[in-house]
Structure 1
């Protein structure tokens, strides 16, 4: 029987505490073994469900422990590349929170280091592991909605009151586009397998961060429009509109948290087929897929090359944006 992959977490971030550390703890083939934090009090919530957790006083101390096989990195955006490279150099597989890099060219060093070490390195783009997205991709490929004509996306929440949040700070790579724009952009690329030909965008800036971004793009076979905001009422939706039908996702990005994940297939004659996913945990599925790749060499569904493509489109949005 194979031993589980021994995981360490760099930093006691809120997101790690609430979602990813519990997912690692619950995932088949994984064991939450270590947490690096200089504040012992921040480790206590993790130890409540993982009492045998080893707590390290520094990130370097965790990386130096040969018992740790893989690390999850939930640090502020501007630190992702630095610590991903350090972890790979230390012989650890890496799952790093998105955006893994601040620009597409930064992915090149990560890809080179991944290939050099033979380790698995990936962005924590969890939605591609959710069965709703695998179904959507298959429906489009099968022609279930005919020729795809237009894709629309939306993702918003309001965190203006949380002034200390790293998403509200330009120096930590904050803003809505890097935090949640990866979802409306990456999901369209994943579902269709296509890359944008041209991009137009408009941004409302607030203290150096993008508080609202609207974008339009031309893909080879369809047009695209979306918006993201960290200053609006919570909402998320993706719609794929074809000549013969419509696919609509009601909780495409935060399944179970925002609401029950549903894929609606609207066909001619006002027929609507609804597939529900009440219990699927894409964080847990992501960890399990990562562990399968580490242990058995199974191809990982979201390689760095895919994440680089999403970042390249984000770069285009920033470079060509007009101010609102």
Structure 2
């Protein structure tokens, strides 16, 4: 099975969904990436008119449903931004149809489902990557360089806060428990990913407390701690009650590095603050389109047949920790081990 559907060096994309956010941010990122082409879109029947308009604006074929798009042999890859509850099913269907897959976070809400996807990707010789666009902004790479330089010493604490408000009664899928809604599997994914990214492994234990807005059947805010062993920890909060906020801080033994807006969009410079005994300074990171950079990195992995920069092992770890946070909150904030089955740690 070839890596491309046609004899071409162009990666032809299909997108499952046509919301305004996708068409404003992700689709332009695909269309503007050299060597990529936004070739097809599909949507739910009730959004057929919107999909038709989006298709016209990008010169893309409009398919009547997701299954028909996956059956399009002219496509090489698909982007899946559906409700969380649909990510696993449509990722497996896309792999069975011979497509490479960029799927929105969370790729899955259990580690077992991540393993299912990993096995299916291996069997199909296809690339799957979970979409964490913030990772591809140059300010995250620069932060990693500063940490590796030793300027702030040994990393001891990661603090992360991610939030954006969603109004009650808005019909937003993030408020629907049957669709995998709730803060944990949305903005919480970022709060989990930051300490995993910079510590490089999962914590030993986690503890979390959730709160719910009156009249809402999913958790809307959370505060959690993670123990990474050897005196290293993370303290995170996330919410769909307030915001926007996408902040993190790396506290080392000799100083700290702070990123004030990890979601810095195109047209907005990134700002990194470094504080040590020698003083405080700011570094400005030129504006970048992290959606486009994410697409470019995924396409490169497909073309070169190499491990995706957001690996499936990374996705397994994110799912494991997210599920552990849910288990902890259900046990009134008990410490939950992240290895093996989620168990309460005395």
TM over 0.5: yes
The number of equivalent residue pairs is 321
Match of 1:228 among 235, 238, 243: 238
Q: Which runs of 5+ in 1 are unaligned?
A: none
> 1: distance between equivalents of 2:57 and 2:272?
33
Which deviates more from structure 2 when the two are superposed, residues 10-19 or residues 26-35? 10-19
Deviation of 1:100 (Å): 1.1
> Any idea what SS the aligned residue of 1:46 has?
helix
Superposed counterparts of 1:206-245, under 5 Å: 206=213, 207-221=216-230, 222-245=232-255
1:27 paired residue number: 33
What is the TM-score of this pair, normalised by structure 2? 0.88
Change (3 A) 1:44 1:55: closer
1:268 aligns with 2:274: no
- C-alpha deviation, 1:12, in angstroms: 1.4
Secondary structure of 1:176's partner?
coil
- CA shift, 1:169, in A, is 0.9
Q: 1:40 aligns with which of 48, 51, 71?
A: 48
For 2:298, the equivalent position in structure 1 comes to 290
Aligned-residue offset at 1:149: 1.9
Matched, 1:92 2:99: yes
**Alpha carbons of structure 1 residues 258 and 316: separation in structure 2 relative to 1, 3 Å:** farther
User: Residue 136 of structure 1 aligns with which residue?
Assistant: 143
Kindly indicate whether the alpha-carbon contact (under 8 Å) linking 2:177 and 2:217 is maintained by their aligned counterparts in 1.
yes
- Single out whichever of 117-126 and 259-268 deviates more from structure 2: 259-268
SS at match of 2:315: helix
Alignment of 1:1-324 (within 5 A): 3-37=9-43, 38=45, 39-47=47-55, 49-50=57-58, 52-161=59-168, 163-206=170-213, 207-221=216-230, 222-252=232-262, 254-256=263-265, 260-272=269-281, 274-321=282-329
- RMSD after superposition: 1.9
Task: Decide whether the 8 Å contact of 1:129 with 1:301 is kept in 2.
Answer: no
Q: TM-score, normalised by structure 1?
A: 0.94
Q: Deviations over 1:105-127 (max 9, x none)?
A: 11110000011111001111112
Q: C-alpha distance in 2, partners of 1:139/1:293?
A: 26
The gaps in structure 2 that reach 5 residues or longer are: 1-6, 334-346
* Runs ≥4 residues deviating over 3 A: 257-260
Check 1:201–1:10 CA distance in 2 against 1; reply closer, same or farther (3 A cut). same
1:60 CA displacement = 1.1
